[in-house]
Amino acid sequence: MFVVPEYNYGMSAPLKNAIDYLHSEWHYKPVGFVSYGGVSAGTRGVQMAKQVVTSLKMFPLFEAVQIPFVRQFMGEDGGFHPNEELETGMVAMLAELEKLALAMRPLQAD
């Protein structure tokens, strides 16, 4: 699972660097995305990342968690406090991630 901010309508440079550096370790593995940002909730960064991970033999999930205006979910304690919609989305994404990871395990043996 990648947590993706949006940077200038795309994915951040540190994320791209991590994907490039570790791509062979991630062949045939599913990828879930949690994105955050302002009005777009980081979705443009995810769209760019999906193109990259697909070309490197990773499989992005359809299910994702998008957090719009992320500061509204930050408490005075500095912690993240998701609403019910975000929690439901995370549960759905993790369930799909588990299913796909189990199905793809035989491909990772090579």
In this predicted model, what pLDDT tens digit does every residue of 1-44 receive, in sequence order? 999 998 888 899 999 999 999 988 889 999 999 999 888 999 99
Phi, psi torsion values for 44, nearest 5 degrees: -70, -35
Q: What is the pLDDT of residues 75-97, one digit of tens each?
A: 999 999 999 999 999 999 999 99
- Alpha carbon distance 44, 8 (integer Å): 9
| Per-residue model confidence (pLDDT) at position 110 | 62
pLDDT(109) > 80: no
CATH superfamily of 2-109: Flavodoxin domain (3.40.50.360)
Backbone φ and ψ of 50, nearest 5°? -60, -40
Contact partners, residue 31, CB within 8 Å, separation at least 6? 1, 2, 53, 58, 59, 60, 61
For the chain, the domains span 2-109
User: Where does the chain have alpha helices with state H?
Assistant: 13-22, 43-55, 84-104
